Amino acid sequence: MTTIRQHAEEYLAMRRRLGFKLTTFGEKLMSFVGYLERSGATTVTTQAALDWATSTPRSTDQVHWSRRLMVVRIFARHLQALEPATEIPPDDALPHHYRRITPHLLTPAELDRLLDAADLLAPTFRARTWRTLISLLSVTGLRTSEACGLNRADVDLREGVLTVRDTKFGKSRQIPVHATTTTALGKYARDRDRQHPVPSTPAFFVSIRGTRLDAHNLPRTFARLVAGAGVTSGEDKRRPRLHDLRHSFATATLLTWYNDGVDVQAKLPLLTTYLGHADPKSTYWYLSGSPELLALAAARLETSFGGRP
């Protein structure tokens, strides 16, 4: 008889072969399996799923509970085909809220101040690394992990193309960049090679020790740069993050398209592919992050229905 643990492990392995990383999902699912094992349960039930989802002593956030329950619901749909006694928790078992953090859209002036703050970092090579990294994120919309994951062979300075491998959804894509960007990347590469003439890693961006930049260690330094640059967020908004450079790039691209009269609906799939989104829904979300974008989209919609812009 196949146990729930075996079913869960096989399910995760199957989805990972399809390209899903499932890091957080996998951790949550195996936590639920462990909960069932400790309670002696041999079947997935709605009550067990609810009990596990809400058993978070350090958090009473219903959004958090709902997301935990969603993990069980997705797995239960798969498992029920194999184990008919499996119960699938109903959609309304917990209040379901989808909450996405409103990004801080960096203005050109704020970005300039961030770069100036980066220039003050010591030693000099660290300052150059941060200036180049922030600049690249702001003009390409790369995820921080994708920039840190770039290898030297992935940065084609002659053709002006970056190859982003093993992205969030297990796919690779190529990112064309402007000539000014390749010039800046080339300058950094020469500085890096002078600093570390015998490389210990194939990484394009390296630390002062010559190791690959770790995306998990960057937020603390970025917070210092934000404070030093005097970049502040409004009330009830979180402090600007490195990921907001990606939001700012996407929003600025959409604004330019709207202002230029471009058919945004037709071009949106291009931005979706460029950003490495799984589907256009994630790209559409950027419309809600900027009041100016919302106004332009509303005006375009009104015009398309015969109203006056």
3-state DSSP helix/strand/coil percent for the chain, to nearest 5? Answer: 60, 5, 40
Catalytic residue (one of 67, 68, 246, 247): 246
Catalytic residue (one of 64, 78, 168, 224): 168
Instruction: Assess whether 246 carries a catalytic annotation.
Output: yes
Instruction: Assess whether 238 carries a catalytic annotation.
Output: no
Instruction: Assess whether 277 carries a catalytic annotation.
Output: yes
pTM score: 0.68
Instruction: Give the Å distances, CA to CA, from 86 to 26, 72, 182.
Output: 19, 11, 55
Instruction: Assess whether 168 carries a catalytic annotation.
Output: yes
**3 state DSSP class of 308:** coil
Whether residue 308 has pLDDT greater than 50: no
Per-residue pLDDT tens for 270-290?
887 778 876 666 666 666 555
Place of tokens 């332009």: 296
For residue 309, the Cα-to-chain-centroid distance in whole angstroms is: 35
Instruction: Assess whether 237 carries a catalytic annotation.
Output: no
User: Confidence class of residue 16 from pLDDT cuts 50, 70 and 90?
Assistant: confident
Q: What is the mean pLDDT of residues 64-74?
A: 91
Catalytic residue (one of 104, 128, 143, 247): 143
Whether residue 302 has pLDDT greater than 60: no
Domain 108-229 architecture:
Orthogonal Bundle (1.10)
Place of tokens 């309304």: 92
Q: Mean of the per-residue pLDDT values for the chain?
A: 86
Tokens of 160: 């002006």
Instruction: Check residue 168 and give its pLDDT.
Output: 61
User: Confidence class of residue 89 from pLDDT cuts 50, 70 and 90?
Assistant: very high
Whether residue 48 has pLDDT greater than 90: yes
Whether residue 54 has pLDDT greater than 70: yes
What values do phi and psi take at 212, rounded to 5? -60, 140
Per-residue pLDDT tens for 166-200?
766 567 889 999 999 999 999 999 999 999 999 99
Picking from 162, 116, 154, 147, the residue whose alpha carbon sits closest to that of residue 218 is 147
Instruction: Assess whether 77 carries a catalytic annotation.
Output: no
**3 state DSSP class of 85:** coil
Share above pLDDT 90 across residues of the chain, in percent, rounded to a whole number: 59
Catalytic residue (one of 96, 196, 243, 300): 243
Per-residue pLDDT tens for 203-227?
999 999 999 999 999 999 999 999 9
Per-residue pLDDT tens for 18-47?
767 788 899 999 999 999 999 999 999 999
